[in-house]
Amino acid sequence: MTTELSYIGHSAFFIKTENQGILIDPFISGNPCAKFETNNQNITDIFVTHGHADHLGDAITIAKTERIPVTAVFELANYCMEHGAPAKGVNLGGNLKYGWGKARFLPAFHSSSTPDGRYAGMPASILFDINGTKIYHAGDTCLNFEMKTTGEIYSPDIALLPVGSVYTMDIDEAVTAAKWLNAKKVIPMHYNTFDAIKVNIEELKTKLSAQGIECKILEPGESIKL
Ligand code: NI
Ligand code: MN
């Protein structure tokens, strides 16, 4: 079974299985660097790590148009429902089952509010198990010791890690995160979208390879087969 992971830009990804499609943190229309056509994609599920606009993005609009649910932490899911989108409210720790596999919301150390400034519940990272491949989307977070627990229990195949600093971890912390997560491969995210989070991404690749960890830098619009 072929599964394809596409980088849309910022922290947004689309994972396509044979007959389903998982959209994560779909910040698309508000991001000039984003590359993704929502039309003609078989999107079946949307996941949002926290309420900030650069993650919630177009989730509500797409959920309404495609009539598919947004899975998010309870308070954020309620906000989506209030705005007319189908949503599934969850919280950290649950083992959520889908046609393509499983998802589990895990901790992220950050803040989370809705676009109107309300409390949006805990920010999250999300561990996906898609047809047996474990993909960890860290959300927005600083380096935190929960990652060591996640590594010990789950050892994700691929870790999607923020590296832009200021709002999240920087490159050096991401290298430690990758080690703690016991990740085989890292795909960086949350950098170069705007000036405050500009980095030299090659530095990540050099530092990860010194640790024997593969780094795959994806340009917006680029995909890899899993
Ligand atoms: Ni954020
Ligand atoms: Mn963010």
Task: Count how many domains the chain has.
Answer: 1
- 1 CA to centre of ligand 2 in angstroms: 32
Query: Does this model's pTM top 0.85?
Result: yes
Confidence of residue 90 (pLDDT cuts 50, 70, 90): very high
- How high is the pLDDT of residue 135? 98
Residue range 25-42, pLDDT digits in tens: 999 999 999 999 888 889
- 45 CA to centre of ligand 1 in angstroms: 21
Residue range 130-161, pLDDT digits in tens: 999 999 999 999 999 999 999 999 999 999 99
For 92, the domain range is: 4-225
- 41 CA to centre of ligand 2 in angstroms: 25
pLDDT exceeds cutoff 70 at 93:
yes
- 54 CA to centre of ligand 1 in angstroms: 7
- How high is the pLDDT of residue 1? 67
- Please tell me the number of the ligand nearest to residue 76's CA: 1
CATH number at residue 147: 3.60.15.10
- How high is the pLDDT of residue 87? 98
Residue range 186-209, pLDDT digits in tens: 999 999 999 999 999 999 999 999
Mean pLDDT of 18-23: 95
- 24 CA to centre of ligand 1 in angstroms: 14
DSSP state string for the chain: ---EEEEEETTEEEEE-SS-EEEES---TT-TT-----TT----EEE-SSSSHHHHTTHHHHHHHHT-PEEEEHHHHHHHHHTT--EEEE-TT--EEETTEEEEEEE--S--B-TTS-B----EEEEEEETTEEEEE--S----THHHHHHHHH--SEEEEE---SSS--HHHHHHHHHHHT-SEEEEES-SSSGGG---THHHHHHHHTTT-EE----TT-EEE-
Mean pLDDT of 82-93: 98
- 18 CA to centre of ligand 1 in angstroms: 31
- Please tell me the number of the ligand nearest to residue 51's CA: 1
pLDDT exceeds cutoff 80 at 221:
yes
